[in-house]
Chains A and B, each alone.
Chain A
Amino acid sequence: MSTTEQPSVPTNSGPDFNPGPDFKDIPAFEVDPGLQRHLADARVNVELDTGDMIINLGPQHPATHGTLRLVVRLDGERVIAADPVIGYMHRGYEKLTEFRTYPQVTTLINRIDWLSSFANEVPFVHAAEQLMEIEAPPRAQYIRTALTELSRIATFLLFLGEMGLQVGALTPAFYGFRDREHVLNLIESATGGRFHPNFNRIGGLKDDLPWGWIAETRNVMKIVLDACDVFEDLVLGNEIFQARTRSVGIIPGELGASYGVSGSNLRASGVDWDLRRDGAPYLAYPELDFEVFTHPDGDSFARYWVRLQETRESARMVLQLLDKMPAGPIMAKVARIIKVPAGEAWVETENPLGQMGYYVVSKGGTGPFRVKIRSASFSNVSILPWMLRGVYVPDVVTILASLYFILGDIDR
């Protein structure tokens, strides 16, 4: 271990002792133009000299989907400053991949975004295939696309219910879980795993689809489309839900992009950018006819709306894929012991949570030399300190729910 002297690093001992998420690091409260509505209140508070309260939301808190910790400084119910503390679930996947062979790595990356594990595998396998200059056969590509879209539907159905729960309506959460179960059953019957399929192989897939899967999928897509209508009526159309989410947690499109916010969150801010359509062509997306939804508002309501539309669109895409599904092999010719030639590949895909990318560096061995995992939630959450200033405590929960992050995707 190198013990070189490094200039201007915050020291962990001595007079400049800085215990990580110290409260004194939280920047002082600045009044944004967007917070004009609170100015009068703020003045009253100065006169009355109300004290601040520092409160820990998490790491054990139902609104944080696991182990995100928010150190929030409150003035009454209003957030003055918020500092997200992450790392409670850091598993060091970037280090671990360096000690695994390529086929072993897919087991790890299944656990990054555990709600849409299949979609995680695709970009990594794709990167390895690019480096090896092989391509999976068309049927494998179609099945991959269908399963990716199914995991998107499963992820979003959970969101559509979960968001209701976070704003206080208990019922949609159960509907979300119930309808997601149908989709998970499909994924399970095709791959053998409900949450961690590990179904992708470099050069194709482990298995072909089981008998009757296509007919069953058609039925389930009808259920999904019906469920979307239910959520539109029950949650999206509800006046209280709209009062709670409209103009709460606005992300300006340009700011969101510079923070690296991606996926539905960015499209809800009016940025018309979907890697399925705009990125380097991958899987069977170029052959599909689908619409990309954007919403100009950029608030929590817009994020819910965009995800609802995308769930519908994904169901339609799956139906298209089933119609077009070609016959043929599902595995390209690949050596038994996979050696990937030296080189670098950057593959990014549009995952349910946003842009998922792997920068794979190979030195010609049987395992990757370095894998930079670019996960969507990490960047999506990094905008939280900006977003949470000046909102009320209930809005914190709404914003967290509408950003829709998975802790495994933040911490990796």
Chain B
Amino acid sequence: MSVLALEIGWGWMLAFKALVILMIVPLGALVLGYTFLLKMMSHMQSRLGPMDPGGFHGWFQLVGDGLKFLQKEDIIPEDADRRVFAFAPVVVVISTFLMFVVIPVGPVAVVANLDVGVFYALAVSSLSVIGVLMAGWSSANKFALMGALRAAGQLIAYELPLLLAVVGVVMQAGTMSLQGIVSAQQNGSIFGWSGIGNPFIFTQIIGFLLFMIAAQAELSQTPFDMPVAESELVAGYMVEYSGFRFLFFFIGEFGTATAFAALAATLFLGGWSLPGVHGLSAELLGPLVLFVKLMGVAFLMFWVRFTYPRLREDQLQAIAWKFLIPIALANIIITAIIKVAF
């Protein structure tokens, strides 16, 4: 059954998994940054700059951006708490790495198939706010501090709808394991018709919308990008960072976007599963299927990001507590009733 780990010992397997995880975050950030930030945004906003470097469609732009970050001077403010300041970007990226541990890309291709996979993924995703708070506090900058505090407030407000949105899925699947949720969708049926399985986006459409809104807030993307708010706080908690430390935040931001898109694809779109594909072909096609689904979800996220203005901090809190959480609770109750009734 196990194709990849057939002849490979336990230690080698672990090393291989760690390598994949280490690769996938910068790679995901690169792909998303290139596709959406540089190409889609340039098309949407009639930008000429990112379409130019390198000739064909501006393919060199991302390389140029990366090189630019690397050659910049590494500046640490004099009043900064140096160790915390230096460690904060790492914390942000680590939380992204940890999220990928439980996301399955095939029937067996998962680093760790935890029984509490969803719970774990959402829990470690909020670790990044610790890094943000560290960055904001240690920068010795008022703008950074305000940005970090906004991020903390946002996290508290949006972690709840995010979790509650997922509860519906968990109830329907009957498991918290992501692998279990995928197979529940693959083997499910819509009113007896099991042609495409039962992607939970149909039954949990409210949950999906809530999840996307809350994820947008978790990622601090527009319309919930108050922690970075270029026009007010300049760049919020990132204001004092330069060079590769800033690049870390950038990778963290887009890596987390990849992780959340993958999570949404797994929870609501069936993850790696493709109708009618089983066995070895599923193992091989799985990563590709998940990638396509992930890009679809990410497209939605970034489309919203490039279209909407930013909400105000109090409006954000009002939306979270007055609308999203009640709707999420109602969604859970309805799901429970239907689950018990049918």
> A residues engaging B (CB < 8 A)?
53, 55, 61-63, 77, 164-171, 174-175, 178, 234-235, 238, 240-241, 243-244, 392-397, 401
Interface size on B, residues (CB 8 A): 28
Question: What residues on B are CB-neighbors of A393 within 8 Å?
Answer: 146, 232-233
5 A-B pairs besides A61-B234, A167-B310, A178-B46 with CB distance below 8 A are: A175-B46, A240-B311, A244-B312, A392-B312, A394-B310
CB distance from B240 to the nearest CB of A (A): 14
CB distance from B324 to the nearest CB of A (A): 15
Q: Are B313 and A241 in contact (CB under 8 A)?
A: no
Q: Are A238 and B230 in contact (CB under 8 A)?
A: no
Chain B 291-334 against A: per-residue CB contact (8 Å), 1 yes, 0 no?
Answer: 00000000000000011111111110000000000000000000
Q: Given A175-B45, A243-B315, are A394 and B226 also a contact pair (CB < 8 Å)?
A: yes
Q: Are A168 and B229 in contact (CB under 8 A)?
A: yes
Q: Are B231 and A171 in contact (CB under 8 A)?
A: no
> B residues engaging A (CB < 8 A)?
41, 44-47, 142-143, 146, 222-223, 225-226, 229-234, 306-315
Q: Report the bound CA distance from A124 to B46 in whole Å.
A: 38
Q: Report the bound CA distance from A375 to B158 in whole Å.
A: 47
Q: Are B308 and A394 in contact (CB under 8 A)?
A: no
Q: Report the bound CA distance from A77 to B232 in whole Å.
A: 12
Chain A minimum-CB-distance residue to B224: A168
Q: Are A168 and B47 in contact (CB under 8 A)?
A: no
Q: Report the bound CA distance from A77 to B234 in whole Å.
A: 15
Q: Report the bound CA distance from A178 to B45 in whole Å.
A: 9
Question: What residues on B are CB-neighbors of A77 within 8 Å?
Answer: 146, 313-314
**Does more than half of chain A's interface fall in helix, strand or loop, or is it mixed?**
helix
Question: What residues on A are CB-neighbors of B226 within 8 Å?
Answer: 394
- Which of B142, B222, B223, B225 lies at the interface centre, i.e. has the most chain A CB atoms within 10 A of its CB? B223
Q: Report the bound CA distance from A165 to B45 in whole Å.
A: 12
Q: Are B309 and A392 in contact (CB under 8 A)?
A: no
Q: Report the bound CA distance from A170 to B226 in whole Å.
A: 14
Q: Are A240 and B234 in contact (CB under 8 A)?
A: no
Instruction: Tell me which of B142, B222, B229 contacts A394 (CB under 8 A).
Output: B229
Q: Are A394 and B232 in contact (CB under 8 A)?
A: yes
Q: Are B46 and A168 in contact (CB under 8 A)?
A: no
Question: What residues on B are CB-neighbors of A63 within 8 Å?
Answer: 231-232
CB distance from A57 to the nearest CB of B (A): 9
Question: What residues on A are CB-neighbors of B307 within 8 Å?
Answer: 169, 171, 234
Question: What residues on A are CB-neighbors of B46 within 8 Å?
Answer: 174-175, 178
Chain B minimum-CB-distance residue to A392: B312
CB distance from A69 to the nearest CB of B (A): 14
